[in-house]
Amino acid sequence: EADDSLAKHNALELEIKRLLKAVVSQDIIFVVQNASVVDTSVLQTELERTKERFENCIIKKENEYAKLWNDWYIKCDECKYDKISYDKAYKDMQQKIEWLQAQLGDLKSKSKDTSCISDTRNPLSQKLENENIELEFQVLNYARENAHLKATHKNLFDSIFVSRTQTKNVIASLQNELQSTIYKNAKLRTQLFKKVSD
């Protein structure tokens, strides 16, 4: 079950990276839509510069996400026995989901603002709208998956807690048996000593 959970976490990490790239590509489309159509060479140069800036931004964000996931995995290890740490890690991930949803809302408003651009850009607007819908669907799936992971980890934590309680009970029972055996041995030694002395 832990391997399955790790696989799901890895899948989520890839999904976040893909979402980030989708957000950045939509920003590029927004810049292209708002650029002047008159001089395509200027537009192409601006597009190349914008792509380079966004690629640098993607690298930076990927590094931030890698650090975030690394921190999150560390927190997951710690929260095997510490539910409070897990809840904090979950809240951090929930904030990231809300952040992605806010970006999605911002992109939707930008795509609506660009709807009045000439009919020659209508396919771009439609593409942007389609990608917005896809991104929204992915964010909702991510939120559902995150809720499922929280439930899974809660169940794991609860089962560890039950297992620890059962282990404590077994240890207490064994300690009682050991004490009883020590007492019986002491009685037998006393009886043996008396017989040897007589």
Domains of the chain, residue spans = 2-148
DSSP symbol at 39:
-
The lowest-confidence range among 90-94, 107-111, 123-127 is 107-111
Which pLDDT does position 118 carry in this prediction? 47
92-108, pLDDT tens digit by residue? 777 877 777 777 677 66
Given a cut of 80, whether residue 188 has pLDDT beyond it is yes
CA distance 145 to 110: 28
The distance from CA 161 to its chain's CA centroid, rounded to whole angstroms, is 23
